[in-house]
Amino acid sequence: MSKAQQAPSPREGGVVAAMSALILAVLLAALDQTIVSTALPRIAEDLHGFDDIAWVSAAYLLASTAVTPLWGKLGDMFGRKRLYLASTTIFLAASVACGLARTLPELIGARVLQGVGGGGMIVLTFALVGDIVAPGERGRYQGMFGSVYGVASIVGPLLGGVFTDQLSWRWAFLINLPFGVVALAVAARALPAATRGARARIDYPGATLLAGIATGLVLVTSFGERWGWGSPAIIGLILATAALALLLLPVERRAAAPVLPPAMLGSRTVVFSSLIGFFANAAMFAVLVYLPTYLQIVHGVSATLSGVSMLPLVAGLVISQSLAGRWAAHAGRLRAILLAGLAANLAGLLLLGTIGGTTSTLVLSVYFLITGVGIGMVPMVVLTTVQNSVPAADLGAASAVVTFARSIGAAFGVAVFGTLLNTGFADRTRALPAAGGFDAARPDTIGRLPGALRETALDAFAHATAAGYLWMAPALAAGILLAVFLKPASRSSAGAAVATARVAEDDVRTDTGQADRDTGDKGPIAA
């Protein structure tokens, strides 16, 4: 065998290097969504801000979700590589600012900036995969990123606890710097040269409306229970968000380069896939966030051991992500994979709906494995389906739509499940005495109850957790129904359809934009 046959081609070596840098970047951005959760009590103590400590997590989620569509569109217009390097630089600079923060407002402000960078890193990474690999191979590579994302959701809180207990909570942020610099350097060399899309004015009105919609949705889901679902603040946010959503489509139709192209949003593949991603992520984060809580409270294990107990779920997630990517690449049966994944995820939720205070570790491991298999088969297949249905010029915007839907789904799932859990637990323990400070509205006070009463409360918390998963099951059932009617198209045919629709949109805008084009302008100003 010749040397040329033995060694990988320069292209293959470049893909490996680029993928390694992108995977590391996604790992860092995903970790920062969850790594601070176990560090929050110590942060509140050090920075004297218990009342506003929830904003440390909400600020990152809010910023990363709000900027996702804008990063995707700017990448389409000005080249994804340069935007990716810029977002990574912002993320690293903000990580240093978080680690050096002296007050809670400083930390919250730095977390906003970190979310701006992290949101760009994630959506541009998914779009860059579309640039680097062929459509038939995207599922396999996207599966790697999905595995990293899922693992980060579980490992994040564990790392946050280790840093807080052994070093300092500041290392939860500072650790990003050495790894991020390496990822940045490799990406600068290995990513394909940036290419610009059609020159046009940035759709500032559309981006502003989307940011407002994202802000409203995240605030409602993050603080609905804390402020009261029927409070004037939450109702006002819901109404304002709905009003902004009604304004979005007319604004985007008039934009020369819309952040969310109306033709793309008219694609059943894009819309159905995004909704499936929303429902799947809602269920996924309800599992990833609250199962460790169940293990720690009901089974009395430490945060570290709760993570070890979740390893069957991680194993199922990683294995199914890899297999789903390979099946999608070789068989092209995207809808079948989605249906299988959603069905396994639904089965996992129904099984988790049977857990109690005495459920054995072995039984829990089986349930976790089945749930992990279901979780792993869905997210990246959804993204691949959408990317294969749009032209290359819209890869960033299409990736942003799916990422946006998944982010809102995650926030929605955590908020709804948290409400179901707390309400269910409070209802089941109202008759228990307030022994030693026990509060039926706070599961963390169970330990203050004496023996027999404590066992009753633990059983109530277990059953409230199980009931919450049963209530989440209809979300996955809705995803299955959407997947049944999903018709993934080849990239060429779907791309041509979207391109044809765009031509029609351009014709509609001809009258209003002709004068500007005659004077050398690139199109009407988005308004």
Q: What does DSSP assign to residue 307?
A: H
Tell me the whole-structure pTM to 2 decimals. 0.71
Q: Which of 465, 422, 45, 444 is nearest to 226 (CA)?
A: 422
Contacts of 474 (CB under 8 A, 6+ apart): none
Give the amino acid at 265: L
Quote the tokens at residue 236: 């006002």
Containing 151, the helix (H) or strand (E) segment is helix 138-166
SS3 106: helix
Q: What does DSSP assign to residue 137?
A: G
Quote the tokens at residue 48: 């004297």
8 Å CB contact between 57 and 40: yes
State the Rg of the chain over Cα.
23
Taking 50 as the pLDDT cut, the residues of the chain under it are: 1-11, 491-527
User: What Å distances lie between residue 141 and 136, 203, 277, 396, CA to CA?
Assistant: 10, 31, 18, 17
As a dihedral over the C-alpha atoms of residue 112, residue 117, residue 119, residue 125, rounded to 10 degrees, the angle is -170
pLDDT at 466: 93
pLDDT at 514: 39
Q: Which of 206, 255, 393 is nearest to 214 (CA)?
A: 206
Quote the tokens at residue 422: 């707390």
The structural domains of the chain, with segments of one domain joined by +, span 11-193, 203-256, 260-506
CATH match of 260-506 with 3.30.420.480: no
User: What Å distances lie between residue 278 and 386, 459, 475, 476, 488, CA to CA?
Assistant: 14, 31, 9, 10, 18
Q: Which fold has domain 11-193?
A: Growth Hormone; Chain: A; (1.20.1250)
Distance CA(73)–CA(203), nearest Å, equals 9
Containing 236, the helix (H) or strand (E) segment is helix 232-254
8 Å CB contact between 285 and 150: no
Contacts of 234 (CB under 8 A, 6+ apart): 220, 223, 224, 227, 228
As a dihedral over the C-alpha atoms of residue 276, residue 281, residue 284, residue 287, rounded to 10 degrees, the angle is -130
φ, ψ of residue 233 to 5 degrees: the values are -65, -45
The backbone region for 41, taken as left when phi is positive above 0, alpha when psi lies in -120 to 50, beta otherwise, is alpha
How many Å from the N-terminal Cα to the C-terminal Cα in the chain?
62
Distance CA(64)–CA(42), nearest Å, equals 24
Quote the tokens at residue 289: 């966030």
pLDDT at 347: 94
